[in-house]
C-alpha cells in the first residue's frame, strides 16, 4: 500500500493531537500537516499537497465549508468533515457533503480523546476509504457521508434485530416500493437519484449511514430541491407514492405490511454490520415483508453493510440491483453484494431513476 499523506485542519489543539496519535501510528498512514485554520493549511499545501484532508467546519479566519469549496475548484481532494453534533453544524456539514466531501466524523463536546480512541478502527477505515475513492467523481459531485462512531468487538448481523426470512410472501395487490442502502458517497448519489424522480415514483425507504441529527438536515435539504417529498422517517410513516423516507441516525428502520402498502418501524438495538441505522436491517425487513413488488438498490459505500440483506431480498423474490464501480465514489458495499451473488443487475448511477420508474410501471 502507498503511504497516505493526511492533513488535519482543526482549531482544537486536542483534536489535532489525538488524530495525529491515532493515524500516524498506523502502517501506511502519515499525518504530515496539522493546521489550526485554513490560512495556515494553505501555506503548507503550497509545498506539499495531502492525499486526504480531515477538516473542521467552524474555524477562525476562514470556515471549513469555504475552504472545501476552494479546494474542489482548484484540485479536488478527498475530504472528511470533522463536525460537532449540533443542528447548525449538521446543516453546514450536509452542504459540505453536497459540495464534494467524502464523509463525516463526529466529535462530542466532552470526552473527545476517549471518543476517538474508541472509534479508532472506523476512523482509520474512513481515511483509507477516502484515499481509495474514485477521485474523478469528486469533480463531478457524484457524492457522499457516513457513520456511527461506536466500535464494537463483535460485528453483529441483522439477527440481533430481526429474525431471518423463512418463506416467500404473497404480494398480490401490494404496492411496489423501493429500498435503498448507501454509505460513503451516498449523499450526492442519493441527491442525483431523488432529484431525477417524478412525483408518481414508488415509495422509497432509505438507509444512509449518517450520525444522529445529520439525517434530518439531509432529508430537509433534499426535500427543498426534489419534486418528491423527502423526510426523516418517523414511526408508522407510510411508504407511499412520491415520498422518500430516510432512516433516522442512531436508529434502525424496518418495513411492516400495512394493508396493501408498508409503514415504517423505528427500532432500537445494537449496531448491525457496525452501523445504526443498518442497511442489512432494512433489507432483511423487505425480504420478510415483500417479494417481487420490492426493488432493492445498494449504492456507493465503505464496508459490507447491505450485502447479506440484498441476498436475502433476492432469495425472497425481490428485484435487486447494485451500483457499478465506475459511478461509485467508494466501491465497497456494492462490490461485496455482487461478489456474494445478491445483485440481479449492476447499473450506473445515471440509470437508477429510470430503473426505479420501469420497475414501478411493470
Q: CB–CB of 314/339 below 8 Å?
A: no
Instruction: Respond yes or no: is residue 305 known to be catalytic.
Output: yes
DSSP string, 98-154: HTT--EEEEE-SS-HHHHHHHTHHHHHHHHHHHHTS-HHHHHHT-----------SS
Distance CA 333, CA 307 (A): 7
Instruction: Respond yes or no: is residue 44 known to be catalytic.
Output: no
Q: Is the dihedral of CA 203, 205, 210, 213 positive or negative?
A: positive
* Given 10, 175, 237, 305, the catalytic residue: 305
Q: Of 54, 38, 76, 72, which is closest to residue 6 (Cα–Cα)? A: 54
* Given 83, 133, 183, 273, the catalytic residue: 183
Q: Which residues contact 154 (CB under 8 A, 6 or more apart)?
A: none
At 78 the three-state DSSP class reads coil
Distance CA 131, CA 200 (A): 39
Distance of CA 267 to the CA centre of its chain: 19
Print the SS3 string covering 18-63.
Answer: HHHHHHCCCCCEEEEEEECCHHHHHHHHCCCCCCEEEEECCCCCCC
* Given 36, 83, 192, 209, the catalytic residue: 209
Q: Which three cell numbers stand for residue 84?
A: 460537532
Instruction: Respond yes or no: is residue 25 known to be catalytic.
Output: no
Distance CA 26, CA 12 (A): 22
Q: Is the dihedral of CA 31, 37, 39, 40 positive or negative?
A: negative
At 203 the three-state DSSP class reads strand
Distance CA 263, CA 251 (A): 16
Catalytically active residues, by annotation: 183, 209, 305
Amino acid at each position: 500500500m502507498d503511504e497516505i499523506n493526511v492533513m488535519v485542519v482543526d482549531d482544537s489543539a486536542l483534536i489535532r493531537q489525538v488524530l495525529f496519535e491515532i493515524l500516524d501510528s498506523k502502517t501506511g498512514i502519515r499525518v504530515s500537516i496539522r493546521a489550526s485554520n485554513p490560512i495556515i493549511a494553505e501555506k503548507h499545501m503550497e509545498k506539499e499537497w495531502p492525499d486526504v484532508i480531515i477538516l473542521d467546519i467552524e474555524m477562525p479566519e476562514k470556515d471549513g465549508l469555504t475552504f472545501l469549496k476552494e479546494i474542489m475548484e482548484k484540485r479536488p481532494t478527498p475530504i472528511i468533515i470533522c463536525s460537532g453534533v449540533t443542528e447548525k453544524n449538521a446543516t453546514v456539514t450536509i452542504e459540505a457533503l453536497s459540495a464534494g466531501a467524502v464523509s463525516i466524523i463526529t466529535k462530542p463536546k466532552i470526552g473527545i480523546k476517549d471518543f476517538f480512541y474508541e472509534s479508532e478502527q472506523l476512523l482509520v477505515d474512513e481515511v483509507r476509504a477516502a484515499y481509495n475513492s474514485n477521485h474523478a467523481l469528486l469533480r463531478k459531485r457524484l457524492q457522499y457521508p457516513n457513520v456511527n462512531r461506536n466500535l464494537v468487538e463483535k460485528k453483529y448481523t441483522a439477527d440481533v434485530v430481526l429474525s431471518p426470512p423463512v418463506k416467500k410472501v404473497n404480494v398480490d395487490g401490494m404496492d411496489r416500493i423501493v429500498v435503498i442502502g448507501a454509505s460513503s458517497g451516498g449523499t450526492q448519489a442519493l441527491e442525483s437519484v431523488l432529484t431525477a424522480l417524478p412525483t408518481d415514483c414508488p415509495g422509497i425507504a432509505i438507509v444512509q449511514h449518517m450520525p444522529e441529527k445529520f439525517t434530518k438536515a439531509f432529508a430537509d435539504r433534499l426535500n427543498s430541491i426534489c419534486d418528491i417529498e423527502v423526510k426523516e422517517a418517523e414511526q408508522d410513516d407510510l411508504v407511499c407514492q412520491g415520498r422518500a423516507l430516510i432512516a433516522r441516525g442512531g436508529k434502525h428502520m424496518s418495513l411492516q405490511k400495512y394493508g396493501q402498502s408498508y409503514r415504517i418501524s423505528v427500532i432500537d438495538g445494537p449496531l448491525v454490520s457496525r452501523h445504526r441505522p443498518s442497511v442489512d436491517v432494512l433489507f432483511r425487513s423487505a425480504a420478510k415483508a415483500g417479494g417481487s413488488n420490492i426493488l432493492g438498490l445498494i449504492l456507493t459505500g465503505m464496508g459490507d453493510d447491505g450485502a447479506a440483506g440484498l441476498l436475502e431480498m433476492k432469495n425472497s423474490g425481490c428485484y435487486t440491483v447494485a451500483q457499478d464501480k465506475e459511478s461509485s465514489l467508494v466501491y465497497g458495499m456494492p462490490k461485496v453484494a455482487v461478489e456474494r451473488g445478491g445483485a440481479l443487475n449492476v447499473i450506473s448511477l445515471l440509470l437508477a431513476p429510470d430503473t426505479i420508474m420501469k420497475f414501478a410501471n411493470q
